[in-house]
Structure 1
Amino acid sequence: MYTHEEYTHEEIECNEQRSIRNGVAATVGITILANFAPLFILKPLHGTSEDVTLLNSLTALMSIFATFIGAAWLTRVHSKLRFCVSSTGIARIFYGLLAVTPLLVPSAGTAITAVLLIALMNFPGSLSNLSWQSLIGELIPGERRASFFGVRNRWGTLVALAATLIPGIFIQLFPATSSLPYMGLFWLSLLASGFEIYYLSRHIEHVNVHPSHFHTTTFGLHTLIQCFHHPAYWRFLMAAAVFNFGWQMAWPLFNLYQIRNAGATAIWISAFNVASQLTQVFTFQRWGRGSEKHGTLRMLAVSGAGVALAPALTVLSVNLPYLVLVNFISGAFVAGYTMLQFNYLLDIIPASERTSYIAHFNIFIGFIGFIAPQIGVWLLHPLHMAPTMFLSTGLRFLGVAMLLWIGRPSRRSPHYIAKSEPLKI
């Protein structure tokens, strides 16, 4: 596999534009599934809180298995792009399977069937995500990533706004227990995924077709241990693990609090997500510019501090307009953290072992994603909702403190993201 240094300026710009369009199309289905799957399980399928918790944990567990297998697999493929296209196509078929679940599965088993389908979907989905992360690190040079991800995420979030607001209004037109609107939305997701795969397949990748020049590496338990020998990486991994534990333990709690405690309907769920995405649209590029000026790690800590406040602010009231405001404010910081965490990871890992380190990071954070939601829901019984959410805030702030500690001058690994010319679409 050639690295991005062999790509011409025109090829890099072409890949950027096609990646932006690919991301826009992918956002439709991903947003619909992320926003309305818990409501789909709880309302028309008559699922329980345990089903929602299982949804979060099983998807994380499936991601761990897929990433471990995918890392070993990716080191042996000649074309990461073809691998990514294939795994993405398989993952998106599950939209259609979800659409027919209420018709083909007896009512008593529809909720758990939907949970299992979404979890299984995450296996090829994680392969797709891993291969895309590794591929994009080669296609887009480091000095252009901040600007590129800012533009890509901004356009994706604009589409996510529509994919949240319109379905929310659409679902509201039907009885709360009707599965018909959800079935229609899953078919729409399947249609949009066709455009996603088309633009993904149109990327330009330089593939080494000469076996004598194609070197493979292995990925296994020894690789997982070896990654800890990179000081800058393992320090960041520890900080990210603490932060993500505090972050992900509250994910099912937000759904339960909004739906059960605050009585949110589909239109209010849409409002929460639209408010969050609206601020993300206007802040993605600002976070990118901030990282260029002040450093990626410092801005990552700032964004993490904002994300840390969300659980504590949420449980202060069940007033629905207030919860919209909380999501509006926290959305700006979520935009920064999600983008800058990946950017900083790419900054500090060796380019020659990019796939292995990305896989190692995803496996570690995926394991956190498996156990954290379970612990979060389990703590509801002895602690109840508010103390558990405050604990989530505390753990997030601890992760931020660790980020600031590794960012001290004596610990900082040199990295620089240069300014680049603005992208066009």
Structure 2
Amino acid sequence: MQYVAALAVTLFTGLFFSLFNKQDAFPYQILLAIGFLLALLEIIFLLKHKDDFPTSEKKQETMKRQKLSLTVFRYKPYAAFLVCAIAYNISAQMGWSIFSIYHIKEAHATALWFSLFSVTNQLAQILSLKWWAKFADRWGNNILLFVAAAGMASAPVLTILSTNLVYITLINFWIGIFVAGTNLLLFNQLLKATPDKSRTNYIANYNFLLAIVGFIAPQMGVFLLNQFGMDSAMTLVSAARFAASFCFLFVAMKLENRKAFRGSPIEDSV
């Protein structure tokens, strides 16, 4: 349902922008105002949410969250997942800014075309999500993560083959198939690589590191673009993504077969 809602909103946004002149700031101001109001509503509803923990358990949980501990990184399955996930996210997010620049400066895409790129991408995610879940149960998360990450590596080099907007729309459908796989399987593998006890602490550390990556990686992409040009930068991003995908394959074929990797003692204080 979330994918369908995102698809509808994205398509509506593109159609809305197409009604105005490209130089007109008014539609942007309207959408920014709507976004601000919706954000306020989200805050209000989040403030109304209450945890059902007993008082003693709630205090204990608060103390755990306030304590910054590096013990989580000593848990081998989590540490291995973290290395692979960070390597992949750096390579994946390096391309974000470059893709936008390519679509605007090279392909001259309008707001409507941008919405069509997103809609086809999200449609592919909706259609392929069940397939990824089915085959992950059969082959394992890490093997499928290698396939999904390798598929994502094809996106930059395929995109620069043509500036035809219809072609780029079809490429976004292709990319969406692998986006669905990486999103689903990374989350599944995160749950698998963390112990039930103190899982929220592990996930919080993971999200914190991803936030840092989300700030740095796009800047690295722009640096590559300025240094080497569009085609070379896209090729380098593809190579980085493909190299990162082998982290998951290495974990699947080597580390997961060792008894020592399946879990190490973990302190109760985590």
User: Is the 1:303–1:333 Cα contact (8 Å) retained in structure 2?
Assistant: yes
Deviations 1:350-373 (A, max 9, x none): 222222211221222222222221
SS of alignment partner, residue 285 of structure 1 = helix
Cα distance, 1:200 vs structure 2: 6.1
Alpha-carbon distance between aligned partners in 2 of 1:267 and 1:212, rounded to the nearest angstrom: 48
Task: Confirm whether residue 254 of structure 1 aligns to residue 75 of structure 2.
Answer: no
Decide whether aligned partners of structure 1 residues 266 and 410 sit closer, same or farther in structure 2, where only a CA change above 3 A counts.
closer
User: Is the 2:98–2:222 Cα contact (8 Å) retained in structure 1?
Assistant: yes
2:77 corresponds in structure 1 to 232
Further displaced range: 307-316 or 205-214: 205-214
Alpha-carbon distance between aligned partners in 2 of 1:210 and 1:188, rounded to the nearest angstrom: 41
Decide whether aligned partners of structure 1 residues 269 and 219 sit closer, same or farther in structure 2, where only a CA change above 3 A counts.
same
2:22 corresponds in structure 1 to 176
Task: Confirm whether residue 336 of structure 1 aligns to residue 181 of structure 2.
Answer: yes
Alpha-carbon distance between aligned partners in 1 of 2:58 and 2:190, rounded to the nearest angstrom: 31
Alpha-carbon distance between aligned partners in 2 of 1:358 and 1:196, rounded to the nearest angstrom: 22
Decide whether aligned partners of structure 1 residues 372 and 210 sit closer, same or farther in structure 2, where only a CA change above 3 A counts.
closer
Task: Confirm whether residue 327 of structure 1 aligns to residue 172 of structure 2.
Answer: yes
Alpha-carbon distance between aligned partners in 2 of 1:208 and 1:167, rounded to the nearest angstrom: 44
Task: Confirm whether residue 217 of structure 1 aligns to residue 64 of structure 2.
Answer: yes
Task: Confirm whether residue 185 of structure 1 aligns to residue 60 of structure 2.
Answer: no
Q: Residue 251 of structure 2 is aligned with which of 392, 406, 418? A: 406
Task: Confirm whether residue 285 of structure 1 aligns to residue 130 of structure 2.
Answer: yes
Cα distance, 1:286 vs structure 2: 2.4
Identity %: 36
1:157 corresponds in structure 2 to 3
Q: Write the letter of the residue equivalent to 1:173.
A: L
SS of alignment partner, residue 264 of structure 1 = coil
Alpha-carbon distance between aligned partners in 2 of 1:156 and 1:308, rounded to the nearest angstrom: 26
User: Is the 1:264–1:320 Cα contact (8 Å) retained in structure 2?
Assistant: yes
Alpha-carbon distance between aligned partners in 2 of 1:202 and 1:286, rounded to the nearest angstrom: 37
Alpha-carbon distance between aligned partners in 1 of 2:233 and 2:67, rounded to the nearest angstrom: 36
Deviations 1:208-253 (A, max 9, x none): 12469845325555x2x32221111111111112211111111100
Q: Residue 222 of structure 2 is aligned with which of 377, 393, 417? A: 377
Alpha-carbon distance between aligned partners in 2 of 1:306 and 1:239, rounded to the nearest angstrom: 16
SS of alignment partner, residue 349 of structure 1 = coil
Alpha-carbon distance between aligned partners in 2 of 1:204 and 1:159, rounded to the nearest angstrom: 26
1:113 corresponds in structure 2 to none
2:266 corresponds in structure 1 to none
Alpha-carbon distance between aligned partners in 2 of 1:211 and 1:245, rounded to the nearest angstrom: 37
Alpha-carbon distance between aligned partners in 2 of 1:204 and 1:285, rounded to the nearest angstrom: 33
User: Is the 1:272–1:324 Cα contact (8 Å) retained in structure 2?
Assistant: yes
Q: Residue 314 of structure 1 is aligned with which of 133, 143, 159? A: 159
Q: Residue 209 of structure 2 is aligned with which of 355, 364, 378? A: 364
User: Is the 2:256–2:262 Cα contact (8 Å) retained in structure 1?
Assistant: no
User: Is the 1:208–1:214 Cα contact (8 Å) retained in structure 2?
Assistant: no
Task: Confirm whether residue 397 of structure 1 aligns to residue 242 of structure 2.
Answer: yes
Q: Write the letter of the residue equivalent to 1:156.
A: Q
Task: Confirm whether residue 301 of structure 1 aligns to residue 146 of structure 2.
Answer: yes
1:92 corresponds in structure 2 to none
Cα distance, 1:340 vs structure 2: 1.5
Alpha-carbon distance between aligned partners in 2 of 1:286 and 1:200, rounded to the nearest angstrom: 33
User: Is the 1:172–1:267 Cα contact (8 Å) retained in structure 2?
Assistant: yes
Decide whether aligned partners of structure 1 residues 218 and 315 sit closer, same or farther in structure 2, where only a CA change above 3 A counts.
same
SS of alignment partner, residue 253 of structure 2 = coil
Q: Structure 1: give runs of 5+ residues left out of the alignment.
A: 1-154, 416-425
Alpha-carbon distance between aligned partners in 1 of 2:35 and 2:121, rounded to the nearest angstrom: 21
Task: Confirm whether residue 348 of structure 1 aligns to residue 203 of structure 2.
Answer: no
User: Is the 2:77–2:262 Cα contact (8 Å) retained in structure 1?
Assistant: no
Q: Structure 2: give runs of 5+ residues left out of the alignment.
A: 264-270
Cα distance, 1:333 vs structure 2: 0.7
Alpha-carbon distance between aligned partners in 1 of 2:28 and 2:221, rounded to the nearest angstrom: 28
User: Is the 2:84–2:247 Cα contact (8 Å) retained in structure 1?
Assistant: yes
**How large is the Cα RMSD of the aligned pairs?**
2.6
Alpha-carbon distance between aligned partners in 2 of 1:395 and 1:219, rounded to the nearest angstrom: 36
Q: Scaled by the length of structure 1, what TM-score is found?
A: 0.56
Q: Write the letter of the residue equivalent to 2:10.
A: T
Q: Scaled by the length of structure 2, what TM-score is found?
A: 0.86
SS of alignment partner, residue 174 of structure 1 = coil
Q: Write the letter of the residue equivalent to 1:305.
A: A
Q: Write the letter of the residue equivalent to 1:291.
A: A
Deviations 1:89-129 (A, max 9, x none): xxxxxxxxxxxxxxxxxxxxxxxxxxxxxxxxxxxxxxxxx
Deviations 1:330-349 (A, max 9, x none): 10110111122122111111
Decide whether aligned partners of structure 1 residues 161 and 315 sit closer, same or farther in structure 2, where only a CA change above 3 A counts.
same
SS of alignment partner, residue 289 of structure 1 = helix
SS of alignment partner, residue 53 of structure 2 = coil
> Relative contact order, CA 8 A, sep 6+: which one is greater?
2
Decide whether aligned partners of structure 1 residues 208 and 171 sit closer, same or farther in structure 2, where only a CA change above 3 A counts.
same
Decide whether aligned partners of structure 1 residues 318 and 351 sit closer, same or farther in structure 2, where only a CA change above 3 A counts.
same
Alpha-carbon distance between aligned partners in 1 of 2:90 and 2:39, rounded to the nearest angstrom: 31
